[in-house]
Amino acid sequence: MNILFIDDHKIFREGAGSLIEKLPLCSTLHYGGSVNDAINALDSLDLDILIFDLTLTDGSGIDILSHVNREKIPVKTVCLTINEELSVLYKLFSLGLTGFVTKNSGLMELENCLTNLSKGMIYIDQIMIKKMIRFRGKRISTGDAPGILSPREQQIYEQLIKEEGINDIAIKLCISQKTVENHKSSIYRKLGIKDKLSLLRFAAGEEMPDA
């Protein structure tokens, strides 16, 4: 895959970049240090994945995502950032982000992200997944939600926000795929959500829109 890596800290960019280049999925790695670098590369190169920091000297990752959306550029986007705010996570995914990895995670987490993106999936690293589960878990279990999830539904809910597939969840929990589907439908109904993005929004603690 052709990858563009944007970060305004040169030492981190070169150090992390040398590791990214060694990943099996990386065929070519391009570098940049600003929003302007990202836009120029997006407009001139045939890229598969764009990895960018949230905060840059001449703007932010949101500016980059806005350009991708405006120009309808078919590139998968990953935010690699020190920011661990759930509200930021949801904001980026609402703008079309496909992967979120914190700089406190290891290289394996980034590799897992790129692998998932190559399969057409989205990815959120384990640090943020744990934050999402902690944030919503207590409120769900005490009934501060449209419905109270059963213990089994809570298990499946946690797997769903990790982007686990139905078959993988079934194998992990030793139940049928049909049972997982039934529980998923029940979870969506109880929490008042309709799709994966709504699930992420709920897990990130955002208020759901009226039906």
**Mean pLDDT confidence for 83-90:** 86
Beta strand pairing call for 49-52 and 2-6: parallel
188: confidence class by pLDDT, cuts 50, 70, 90: confident
Tell me the per-residue pLDDT of 92-142, one tens digit each, with 9 for 90 and over.
988 899 999 999 998 889 999 999 899 888 898 888 888 776 665 544 444
* Mean pLDDT value of segment 36-60: 95
Residue 149 DSSP symbol: P
Homologous superfamily (CATH) for 2-124: Response regulator (3.40.50.2300)
Domains 2-124 and 128-203 share a fold: yes
- Average pLDDT (64-86) is 94
For the structural domain made of 128-203, what CATH number should be given? Answer: 3.40.50.2300
Query: What mean pLDDT comes out for the span 203-209?
Result: 53
Name the DSSP class of 78: E
Helices within the chain (DSSP H only): 10-21, 35-44, 61-71, 86-94, 107-118, 126-141, 151-160, 166-173, 177-191, 196-203
Domain boundaries, the chain: 2-124, 128-203
Residue pair 7/54 in contact (Cβ under 8 Å)? The answer is no
